[in-house]
Structure 1
């Protein structure tokens, strides 16, 4: 055990589709897991895109997960806890009810962070390990969630540190939103897919007005959709985070697998143990968002510097890791000041 000053912190990432808990020890050298990521699929964003309210059964699923997390936290001496809520909570009119209940269960109030902060935290985590993988800057981190997708560009490879964000934008598209908005049949019709593509491309157009994605030399993908589709592209019979983390995937291989799973029936996808049961009905929508973002960024890079990007790198280090790393560093600075 290192004798360097350290703190133990916990982070909770509550997204549109899933909620995650991580407890980690942070010192000046980085972060070490105390309790690895615990994930529960709660579909908090169920129908939020349509009703702008949390459904009662979605709230009950969230509270059940929070009570489970409280029991885990009670077993550890944690110096700080941060609960971050993202896309679905930003859009819900009854978010106060949710925040009050979570605070009563966990003793900490959810922080509903803007998409720009979500992007910065994801970028911090994803780029904390780039040296290990020998990646080429600048980096574009894509955090593809259930309700939103963040594009974050940073690290110019010369004067800017790897973790420095140059530009970021949050798009209101994700696996749950695309499925609920457009992909209503099982499997979806070509007309529904075309409508979803038009929706995604319109959001990417807006994002590109804020983020010069063509400058990127490396695409890093984080989130459950990206890592799940990566595992499927690799042909893994079951999900293995150690095999997925840091792997480089050719875009043409990703496009083929993304399209195949988009056009499957739900029953066909359910036969793959690689896919978490809570993602089976929405992973096709997420795969479509992922393919469109990859294609648009690759072509933007070719237009910008004459070199199309032909692969991406998958990372297990996303928003949750960023929450813990950032919280740990800030807590450590306060305690050692």
Structure 2
């Protein structure tokens, strides 16, 4: 018979990190943790001058390929091995958050935890063992956070904007209309779309911003799920073609897919791509022997170059991709799936070039937290637990 934990054991449990705790003073340090299907990523930052991260200074960061969603496509559950890997990574994140005395944090999980039947039990284990209280966000929230993360990369001349984020378990696309919005108002409009938690009501601004959304979609198709689904297809080119068709089937309900897209050829559409696939192709386009975020984030990737590099990577074969210094073992088996998704997007919306974003949900969470509490901002003041979930 097992006995209840004694007082000593209870004292050793990690203190719960409450993402909604209201600090006694204005918060100066923020944390954003994105637990995706493949990766666990953390950023800790404080407000700073506009720069590479668009208005905040990074104090600490962490990223680990935990492959949480490995096998979920086939089994419908998170495996014990994947959960153990992820909890180990989350312990490191929790220690960093405490060490930096973070005043406010946003901690989210995405597609793997949305789909897995045992995700609720896994999240309880995470809370018990690390103190992290993880929020499983909806596909719409994920799309809007990705959009907010890319806000600093918006061009003044853009009349419409599409942001896509290729994840491990899903791909989000969101399209917004910018006609008639003054350049100095665009960033506030985009950040108002980010789903927040806590802060005074900002419903009026959010309603105005939401009116600018033409459409959004979250396809339950990402690099890991595509790889798993077509793993039995031996030839890379055959697998690539099947993946592209499968992805296109899942975005057929996206409104801009159905409409006349002649405007996309007139230069009024800006496309921003946020994913490891896009940043990898961007680095290869620059000929980098070692990845350099400062050079890749915000660069322009020509459609023709993206197509050429994708074909080259497919022709290399599995061994060639693993040996390629710009790809590596971790990304070698998933880059074919990512290229299939990217190629489909660029074929449907034939902009001459896209802007590469080495940023995403974490940056969107940080931008929206800081924007909400900036001096004189619409949400300045202490948090209200559970409010404004978006």
Q: If the length of structure 1 is used for normalisation, what is the TM-score?
A: 0.86
Partner of 2:382: helix, strand, or coil? helix
Residue 139 of structure 1 is matched in structure 2 by 161
The two structures, once aligned, show a CA RMSD in angstroms of 2.5
Distance 1:291 1:274, change over 3 A: same
Structure 2 SS opposite 1:38: strand
1:163-183 deviation line (CA, Å, top 9, x unaligned): 245121111111111111114
The one of 87, 100, 105 aligned to 1:76 = 100
Structure 1 residues 330 and 149: CA distance shift in structure 2, 3 A: same
2:228 equivalent among 145, 158, 180: 180
- Structure-2 residue corresponding to 1:325: 367
1:61 Cα deviation from its structure 2 partner: 0.9
Check the 8 A contact 1:138/1:155 in 2, yes or no. Answer: yes
- Residue in structure 2 matching 1:15, options 20, 29, 36: 36
Matched, 1:271 2:313: no
Q: Tell me the CA shift for residue 222 of structure 1.
A: 0.6
> Closer, same or farther in 2 for the Cα pair 1:36/1:283, shift >3 Å?
farther
Aligned counterparts of 2:275 and 2:157: Cα–Cα separation in 1: 19
Offset at 1:212?
6.0
1:157-214 deviations in whole A, cap 9, x for unaligned?
4237352451211111111111111143565252x33322221111121224688694
Distance 2:233 2:320 in 1: 14
Partner SS, residue 327 of structure 2: coil
Q: Which moved more, 1:224-233 or 1:37-46?
A: 224-233
Q: Distance in 1 between matches of 2:64 and 2:293?
A: 16
Q: Is the 8 A contact 1:153 1:213 kept in 2?
A: no
Paired residues in the alignment total 320
Q: Distance in 2 between matches of 1:219 and 1:209?
A: 13
**Aligned-partner Cα distance in 2 for 1:27–1:228:** 28
SS of the residue corresponding to residue 29 of structure 2 reads strand
Unaligned runs of at least 5 residues, structure 2? 1-25, 191-208, 375-379, 385-390
Partner residue of 1:252?
A: 304
Matched position secondary structure for 1:265: helix
Match of 1:119 among 143, 149, 153: 143
Q: Secondary structure at the match of 2:64?
A: strand
> Judging changes above 3 Å, is the alpha-carbon distance between structure 1 residues 237 and 56 closer, same or farther for their aligned structure 2 residues?
same
Partner of 1:306: none
1:281-320 equivalences in 2 (<5 Å): 281-298=333-350, 309-320=351-362
